[in-house]
Amino acid sequence: MTPNRPTHIDTPEHRPRPTSRRIKVTLPTALADKLDKLARRAGEPPAKVAAQIIRQAIDNDGAASTTSSDAAGNDQQSDFEGDRPPWLEPYGGSREWRGLTWGSIVGLHARYPHHLSALKEGWWKNSSHLETLCALAVWRQWIDNTGRDPREELAFQIQLADYGRLLRQEGGSVIDAWQPGAPPIDW
């Protein structure tokens, strides 16, 4: 009979550290449908898009991430995978983007009529106004959907108030004021 000898135990300190780890995430149907839509637009599998969103959310929260785009040696622009940020119209134009964006800006105006009361008819022809309103609308949506930090809300409100002051400084008359409604033909 051979004596029992200690066997090699595969302890955590002897195992190589994985560079990534697979996890399972369960989403409500409405969010899963949105994820599917984002994935189709990006031409990527939903799991890859979800992983990018999760990495970005964790990185933005200040938590360490060994798989962030910075750690991988990529710049932050890679978060959009070649697409433009959601507050800018996609290259080549997009009727869907324009419709959703117009609706978001109408909603923003309805929610904050005091701040946006000095918005003038034809604002969409001015790149600065167009991009600012689109960014504010997307930012508001992000806060409403996933906001967890009250500082996000405070920062948004400060930017909105500053933009409202800028609009009032530009002057004009009540006749020039934009009346929210259906998008104009030149939109």
Tokens linked to 33? 């449908």
Give the separation between CA 17 and CA 1, rounded to whole angstroms: 39
pLDDT tens over the chain, length 187 residues = 555 655 555 555 555 666 767 788 787 777 788 888 887 877 778 888 787 777 666 765 544 333 333 333 333 333 444 578 999 999 888 899 999 999 999 999 999 999 999 999 999 999 999 999 999 999 999 999 998 999 999 999 999 999 999 999 998 776 788 999 999 988 8
Give the separation between CA 107 and CA 164, rounded to whole angstroms: 16
Q: Are 63 and 71 in contact (CB under 8 A)?
A: no
E strands of the chain, at which residues? none
